[in-house]
Amino acid sequence: MSKTRSGRSARRAARRDGAGSGPTTSIWPGIEGGHYRPIPKDGIVSIHRTALRILEEIGIANATPRCIETVTTAGGSVSEAGRLLFPSGMVERVLETAGRGFKLYGQTPEFDLDPSGTRIHLGTSGAAVHIVDSETGEVRDTTLADLFDMARLAQALPNIHMFQRTVVARDILDPHAMELNTAYACAAGTKKPIGTSFSSVETMRAAVEMFHIIAGGEDAWRARPYCCISTCFIVPPLTFAEEALGIIECAAETGTPLKLVSAGQAGATSPAPLAGAVAQQTAEVLAGLVYVNLLNPGHPALFGALPFVSDLRTGAMSGGSAEQGVLMAACAQMAQFYGIPCAVSAGMTDSKLPDFQAGYEKGITELLSALAGANLIYEAAGMYGSLLAASKESFVLDNDLIGSVLRATRGFEIDEDALAFEVIRDVCVGGPGHFLGSDQTLGRMQSDYYYPALADRTTPQAWADADTPALLQTAREKTNEILNQISEPVFGSESNAAILKRFSEIRDVWSGETVLSPVENQ
């Protein structure tokens, strides 16, 4: 039996090579998906060919002079309508140089993520402008202190694997100061891989300089860049966001990973048929991949095709719909077709509070993305109101949900030990007639089963007799417990002092200055 278990351990170790460690041996960052395939094989080829036709025959509007020069030098052209055209042969040739096999780094190696193949990781993103108090129903503006708190929650919760900016610091009015402080708060709150976005190259360069201080110098940053910049470089349909092209150029120059995002809304800014929405978003992301790889071949860039869903009765975004889950799974398939790590969005419930609607919308969209093998599943924790609102206690609740998604995606192994023939014989022939005390049962409790931290599994009568608090109340208490723990910014006081000395715009998140109101900040 020991030999069999040793073999099982060796296979598990080989399967997890390159993946992060998990809270138990039953789940871990980088579990492999790929079991759910909404697009048939011939459909993938059809979408790919349609995307190439879009780029070659329709092209992208509003290219900047540098982008035009770069692409036309490589074989592209400009149409009579002024649209930049990407010949299919050029696209396929440049895609061969695209970055593959790269990691997303944490500030320290234990949090590194390997987004290769169909390995899955779940984390946060969004730009919510409201906090919803689940106890009072109050809705208020988000602040820098909220963002720092959410980064600290992500650091403490093991099933949240990365932290991209979740809320907008609406207490800082100047865009440059707001975005620089956002990058600072993310890096100060967690050592896990972080992400944010910038509206100007000037702000991005300042933030990268700050990242150098935290990393220990420019060379150290280039070796382990721990922040991935999300850039919506496309304004669907098929139009470049000119300032965002500068962000791509800055990333190529500074060695900063990119999430190349095209986020059309099906039925509004991309076609209503799901296949057409995927084709358009694929074409738009391919244009970004071509550009960044012409600037810096092999640059680490995520395939961020994100077709969102409109409720066609009202035109409103419907981030919690079943169609949203199917679309994200389909985009994961397209990224796998190109062999490029992908980023998708799931968990964007339309509900305003942690309730039944939120549970089923988060569960179905995240599970479909995970089963499809989406490498990086953003918006998976904390988000409500189709990304307009966020909830701190939901981080704790979603940590449980994500654990269950990971366990469901993992499936189970088939080997001699797992089939348990000898154990069944021992129990049934002269044994106790049950498996409760079996060595195998005890040995498999942690490796085969995931145990949610908050979910109540008692009987109804035991639950009533114990006067068990509501799940939301338990989540609030756990959230407060995490946030009340005293700690300095995760990169330490020395780096913090250097940042505060260098950048006058930065608010020290630990000093309490983050609670300044907009009036006080003027």
**pLDDT at position 310, please?**
82
367, two tokens: 């599970």
**pLDDT at position 24, please?**
78
Closest of 314, 232, 323 to residue 275, by C-alpha? 323
- Calpha distance 277→312 (Å, rounded): 14
Q: What is the mean pLDDT of each run of 10 residues along the chain (522 residues)?
A: 46 53 86 96 97 98 98 98 98 98 97 98 97 86 96 97 98 97 98 98 98 98 98 98 97 98 94 96 98 98 95 85 96 98 97 94 98 98 95 96 97 94 96 94 92 92 88 94 89 95 91 43 34
**pLDDT at position 11, please?**
46
Assess contact for 459 and 465: CB atoms under 8 A.
no
115 and 231 share one domain: yes
Residue for token pair 């021992």: 426
Assess contact for 507 and 514: CB atoms under 8 A.
yes
396 and 443 share one domain: no
Domain-ending residue, one of 383, 410, 437: 410
Closest of 163, 249, 167 to residue 200, by C-alpha? 249
Neighbours of 210 (CB within 10 A): 21
- The two most distant CA atoms of the chain are separated, in Å, by 86
438 and 397 share one domain: no
392 and 435 share one domain: no
For residue 479, is it within any domain?
no
Which helix H or strand E contains 455, and what residues bound it? none
Domain-ending residue, one of 448, 464, 496: 448
- Calpha distance 254→269 (Å, rounded): 32
For residue 280, is it within any domain?
yes
24 and 157 share one domain: no
* CB burial string 38-75: b at 16+ within 10 A, e below: bbeeeebeebbebbbebbbebbbebbbeebeebbeebe
For residue 295, is it within any domain?
yes
Q: Which residues contact 22 (CB under 8 A, 6 or more apart)?
A: 28, 29, 158, 406
**Coil vs helix vs strand at 335:** helix
429 and 400 share one domain: no
- Calpha distance 90→85 (Å, rounded): 10
39, two tokens: 């697009």
350 and 434 share one domain: no
Report, in angstroms and rounded to the nearest whole number, the Rg of the chain calculated over CA atoms: 24
- Calpha distance 328→36 (Å, rounded): 11
140, two tokens: 């208020």
Domain-ending residue, one of 364, 384, 410: 410
- Calpha distance 406→402 (Å, rounded): 6
For residue 166, is it within any domain?
yes
380 and 435 share one domain: no
Question: How far is Cα of residue 178 from the mean position of the Cα atoms in its chain?
Answer: 22
298 and 428 share one domain: no
For residue 267, is it within any domain?
yes
Q: At what angle do helices 242-254 and 201-215 cross, to 10 degrees?
A: 30
336 and 440 share one domain: no
- Calpha distance 86→75 (Å, rounded): 8
**pLDDT at position 6, please?**
47
174 and 26 share one domain: no
**pLDDT at position 12, please?**
53
* CB burial string 377-413: b at 16+ within 10 A, e below: bbbbbbbbbbbbbbbbbbbbbbbbbbbbbbbbbbeee
Which CATH number is 376's domain given?
A: 3.20.20.480
Amino acid at 489: P
DSSP state letters, 66-114: HHHHHHHHTT-EE-TTSPEE--HHHHHHHHTTS--S--B--SSGGG-B-
For residue 473, is it within any domain?
no
Question: How far is Cα of residue 38 from the mean position of the Cα atoms in its chain?
Answer: 21
371 and 393 share one domain: yes
Assess contact for 119 and 28: CB atoms under 8 A.
no
For residue 367, is it within any domain?
yes
Count of structural domains within the chain? 2
Assess contact for 495 and 213: CB atoms under 8 A.
yes
For residue 296, is it within any domain?
yes
Supply the range of the domain harboring residue 348.
109-410
φ, ψ for residue 83, nearest 5 deg = -95, 140
Q: Which residues contact 256 (CB under 8 A, 6 or more apart)?
A: 204, 208, 225, 227, 228, 229, 250
* CB burial string 357-369: b at 16+ within 10 A, e below: ebeebbbbbbbbb
Edge-to-edge, what's the strand order for the sheet holding 301-305?
A: 301-305, 258-262, 227-231, 194-196, 162-164, 121-124, 376-378, 343-345
